[in-house]
Amino acid sequence: MFKNQVIERITKEFGSPSRETVKVTAWDVGDNLGVVVQTDQPNKGDQAFVWLPYPPDSESLPEIALEYAAESGRHSNTYPSPGLERGRPALKLIVTSDEEMNDLIAYIKAFKEFRPLPDLKANPSTEISSELDANDSMIRVDTAAMPSPKPIKPRREAIPRAVQREVWQRDGGRCVECNSKAKLCFDHIVPFSKGGSNTVRNLQLLCERCNLSKGNRI
């Protein structure tokens, strides 16, 4: 199971877990930095759910994270960890590859040392075209016919607490799609990857299920 690999890697980097239950394995990495890996979920062998405290305003957020509202319920075994106490916002990262796991470790280390948080991209591509291996000869390239470079994707940033509170109050502490009050996350109506922002107008409350089913559709 991939989550076991994540647990082994975090243990290697930060020492033995401070807490183990039938549902989670947790580390107290810093005074206000708990890291929690769920062991009860997911059932998929190629994923791991990792909980982290919500970072300070304007800091970088992992692309693979769900943003849980402070007022929302979440996995009860996360509450004893520092920075993840009840009533505080939290991140739930869905880690699916070795590349994401490496970036996760770098993110936690920066968080612990109060350094600027690095970007944590979703599913970094490491594929190399097989056509390059099939022909080692030099190829003349018409640079004028090459497509223009894609614009740099905007960095996903932490939502200011004041904006979080306003969105929560506006949506009445419920999922705007199914009216659920459980496991509520902040969702960008227009995703960051498509030019969205952390404004009240561009944010809404969705339960985890509706959030995951939405993906990047608008």
On whether both 50 and 97 belong to a single domain, the answer is yes
- What is the model's pTM? 0.81
pLDDT bin (cut points 50, 70, 90) of residue 193 is: confident
- Compute the 3-state secondary structure of the chain and give helix, strand, coil in percent, each to the nearest 5: 30, 20, 50
Task: Name the least confident of 59-63, 91-95, 124-128, 193-197.
Answer: 124-128
Q: Is 25 within the bounds of a domain?
A: yes
Tokens 């062998």 -> residue: 45
Does residue 138 lie in a domain region? Answer: no
Distance between CA atoms of 101 and 182, rounded to whole angstroms?
28
Q: pLDDT at position 45, please?
A: 87
Give the CA count within 13 Å in the CB-facing half-sphere of 97: 11
Range of the domain at 178: 159-213
Tokens describing residue 190: 């227009």
* Same domain, yes or no: 105 and 205: no
What is residue 216's predicted lDDT score, i.e. its pLDDT? 53
Are 113 and 205 in the same domain? no
pLDDT tens digits, residue range 87-108? 999 999 999 999 999 999 999 9
When pLDDT is cut at 50, 70 and 90, the band that residue 129 belongs to is very low
Q: Is residue 164 part of a domain?
A: yes
* pLDDT: which is higher, 6 or 153: 6
DSSP 24: E
> In this structure, are 7 and 76 located in the same domain?
yes
Do residue 7 and residue 69 come from a single domain?
Answer: yes
Q: What is the dihedral of CA 156, 157, 163, 168, to 10 degrees?
A: 60
> According to the model, what pLDDT value does residue 217 have?
52
Total structural domains within the chain: 2
Chain segment 10-20, per-residue pLDDT in tens: 999 999 999 99
Among 106, 92, 99, which Cα is nearest to 41's?
Answer: 92
Please state whether 111 falls in left (phi above 0), alpha (psi between -120 and 50) or beta. alpha
Both 88 and 24 in a single domain?
yes
What confidence score (pLDDT) does residue 119 get?
Answer: 87
Position 213 confidence tier, pLDDT thresholds 50, 70, 90? confident
CA distances (Å), origin 157, targets 2, 56, 119, 212: 27, 9, 10, 19
